[in-house]
Structure 1
Amino acid sequence: MASRGAPPFSTLRVTDRDDHLEVRLHRPAVRNAIDQAMVDELLRVCAELEARPRILVIAGTPGDPATGARGVFASGADIAQLRERRRDDALAGINSGVFDRIAKLPMPVIAVLDGHALGGGAELAYAADFRIGTPEVRLGNPETGLGIMAAAGATWRLKELVGESVAKQIILAGRVLSGEECLAVGLLSELRPAAELVAATSALVARIAAQDPLAVRLSKSVFHTPREAHPVIDTLAQAVLFESEAKFERMQAFLDRKSK
């Protein structure tokens, strides 16, 4: 990822893989709690991907079998900072703004979850298009137990993802889901042992990267368009794709393979 004089990342580990950008949350001393510095650096990542669209993979700190340390995605917002925030900070939508921007990135976003993904960490995961996790995942929104609410996407994204009943259990009653429970309710698309996370993520990245990038971008955009915009938005997007060189090349290649 080209920095062009920008300061180095301190809360993230960013690796450019050509067809995707790999971002690891990196505040292990506080279980990857999301603070203002991490928000600012995630915004830098968004700016890069908006300028040069690629798949985004967001992961946390992997476990270490040698030491027995467990993996962690993000334990939530930094409570020390959160305690000092007041009305104007809430109105600024610090976390909700960056998570919404991540959700609206041109290309798909994959969240790779291991261990705790709580509070803001869960809301970051909800903003992804795909979530792959381990049986050790613990995902939930304990905000009401701290005298606040989950205000960075959970109150509406989670209902869309798992339905009203499960969403209310998580948001209003503090239920924390295990990896198996996340898979059962559709929050995870895949459940893999920690040792298989990298391979499973690489396979998903490869499947997405094999598609036509413009078709993927437009499909993601149209997918998230309000119902009242359909079917007009579908027709317009398809009209753009019908004129693309990739459409002719890919369809011709398909016909050539079929004729053999």
Structure 2
Amino acid sequence: MSQSTLRVDARADRVVATLDRPAARNAIGQELVDELHALCAQLEAVPRVLILTGSDGVFASGADIAQLRERTAGDAREGINMRVFTRIAELPMPVIAAVDGWALGGGAELAFAADLRLGTPRTRIGNPETGLGILPAAGATFRLPAIVGQARAAELLLTGRILDAAEAVDWGILSSLHEPEALMDAAHALADRIAANDPLATQYTKRALAAPRDAHPQIEYELQAELFERPEKRERMTAFLERRKK
């Protein structure tokens, strides 16, 4: 699958999507949004792990400012970036963001929409939108507090401060750091571990993680009840017990 701003490598158990606008430092414009929607449609139809990354040592420098400058109140109410990032966050299988270099504004919000985020020592992440006369309106105001807590999210979003890689790990935005040349290997290693598990159990775990607080514990009861009735549960548990006997 070859597209002009998104390179997609589709495999049986995962898809690697690389933001590919190097001249614009992978800024997120309407064309890329459209291509991400098309990719989501494929992953909704055939659930697989998604690995998101950027080209040329940059994850995504933010929204396309030239396009953003011309958008109107009506465009703001359309939630152009918010809608696609929410669709990514709600994909059935886990999303891994492999974040090298800059992840600013909309780029940070795209990373926040992932379930797992890995970085490199040169990762820089933050939301400088208020310095441009706008607010971070593509998920940072609710996804970032869920990741780092309300106080730290407020500090980051209200000051527009950019975190370096070590701070991003300390704050819990990134789970680990890898040298740039090893970043994709680390992302694939995570995907390998996910792929080794039962796909529906993985999907249901993601669904439970995303559920609102008042949905618990009933959502676990219902999802677990369905999993308990599947032959895959007995097969996997029997195999585990047989291995333990050896």
TM superposition score category, shorter chain reference: over 0.9
Q: Paired residue for 1:159, among 145, 148, 152?
A: 145
Counterpart residue number, 2:38 = 44
* Alignment match of 2:89 (pick from 88, 99, 103): 103
Residues 175-231 of structure 1 show CA distances to partners (whole Å, capped at 9, x for unaligned) of 100111100110001111112112211111111111100000011001111111111
Of 192, 197, 207 in structure 2, the residue corresponding to residue 221 of structure 1 is 207
Secondary structure at 1:9 match in 2: coil
1:248 aligns with 2:241: no
Q: Give the deviation of 1:174 after TM superposition.
A: 1.0
Give the equivalent residue in structure 2 for 1:14: 8
TM-score, normalised via structure 2 length = 0.98
Q: Residue 224 of structure 2 aligns with which residue? A: 238
Deviation (angstroms), 1:101: 0.5
- Aligned residue for 2:52, secondary structure, equals strand
SS in 1 for 2:4: coil
Identity of aligned residues (%): 58
Q: How far does residue 259 in structure 1 lie from its aligned partner after superposition?
A: 1.8
Partner of residue 175 from structure 1, selected from 161, 171, 186: 161
Aligned to 2:52: 58
Mapped partners of 2:209, 2:61: distance in 1: 30
2:58 aligned residue (69, 72, 75) = 72
Superposed CA deviations along residues 78-105 of structure 1, whole A, max 9, x for unmatched, are 0000000000000000000000000000
* Aligned 1:82-161 pairs, distance under 5 A: 82-161=68-147
In 1, the alpha carbon distance for the partners of 2:184 and 2:78 equals: 36
Please give the TM-score of this superposition, normalised by the length of structure 1. Answer: 0.93
State the AA in 2 paired with 1:35: G
Quick one: distance in 1 between partners of 2:151 and 2:212? 23
RMSD: 0.9
Which residue type is aligned with residue 218 of structure 1? Y
Gaps of 5+ in 2: none
Q: Deviations over 1:29-68 (max 9, x none)?
A: 0000000000000000000000000000000014xxxxxx
Aligned residue number for residue 184 of structure 1: 170
Distance 2:8 2:221 in 1: 37
**Cα separation, 1, equivalents of 2:245 and 2:86:** 46
1:246 Cα deviation after fit: 1.1
Q: Where do 4+ consecutive residues of structure 1 move more than 6 Å?
A: none
Letter of the 1:56 partner, please give it.
L
Alignment gaps of 5+ in structure 1: 2-7, 63-70
Q: Distance in 2 between matches of 1:231 and 1:31?
A: 43
Partners of 2:111 and 2:217 in 1: CA distance: 29
Which of residues 29, 48, 61 is equivalent to 2:23? 29
Counterpart in 2 of 1:66?
Answer: none
